[in-house]
Amino acid sequence: MARSKTSKKWMDEHLNDPYVKKAQADGYRSRASYKLIELNEKDKLFSTGSVVMDLGSAPGGWSQIVAPVVGDSGRVIASDILPMDGIAGVTFIQGDFTEEAVYDQLLKALGDDTKADLVVSDMAPNMSGVNTTDQYASMYLVELALDMARNVLKPNGSFCAKVFQGVGYEEYVKDVRQSFKQVFVRKPAASRPRSREVYLVAKGFKG
């Protein structure tokens, strides 16, 4: 079956993307790794000893960056519906974290007496190509990620999530501001310019 012009254009763009080539050269699983590297350099989201929860983690591009930085004294708990190859220092739970059984597994992995320093979400829904449908689906995911952050973060913890600008975006930013002292909107260099995605960085969880 012939590929559509749109998918061919995407494939050409993907193969010629400098960040895709750089990720392959650097041994990273995803070009998204560079987004988190830049965000952490700017906003100091995690460091040695941090406890981090990575939602929508597959193929592991973000966990791969976090784990070596937090080291043996820190922890990374990652989750995705899709499988993910193991990463040293990362506890991976496959499943939909919106389901109670998976949610409970994540809390168990975190530990009864432990709260997270940081919750990150690079989740995106399976895109249908229908803008309105995709926007609602993506907003639903980031709302769930925010709920998780509110449940597991320690006071003054941080939250970082990919959000698509569109219907529901402004309300979501207001909602995040209610729970955090500072909220920044970032557009990392590795984020494609024409993409509506931005990253919300929220710091100082009010608990």
96 marked as part of a ligand binding site: yes
The enclosing H or E element of 121 equals strand 116-121
d(C-alpha 118, C-alpha 78), whole Å? 12
Contact (Cβ atoms closer than 8 angstroms) between residue 142 and residue 162:
yes
d(C-alpha 113, C-alpha 205), whole Å? 18
Of 8, 108, 162, 203, the catalytic one is 162
60 marked as part of a ligand binding site: yes
Query: From residue 179, how far is each of 58, 122, 151, 173, 174 by CA, in Å?
Result: 27, 20, 11, 10, 9
- Check if 206 is active-site: no
d(C-alpha 15, C-alpha 132), whole Å? 28
- Annotated binding site: which residue ranges? 60, 62, 80, 96, 122
Q: Active-site residue numbers? A: 162
- Annotated binding site for S-adenosyl-L-methionine: which residue ranges? 60, 62, 80, 96, 122
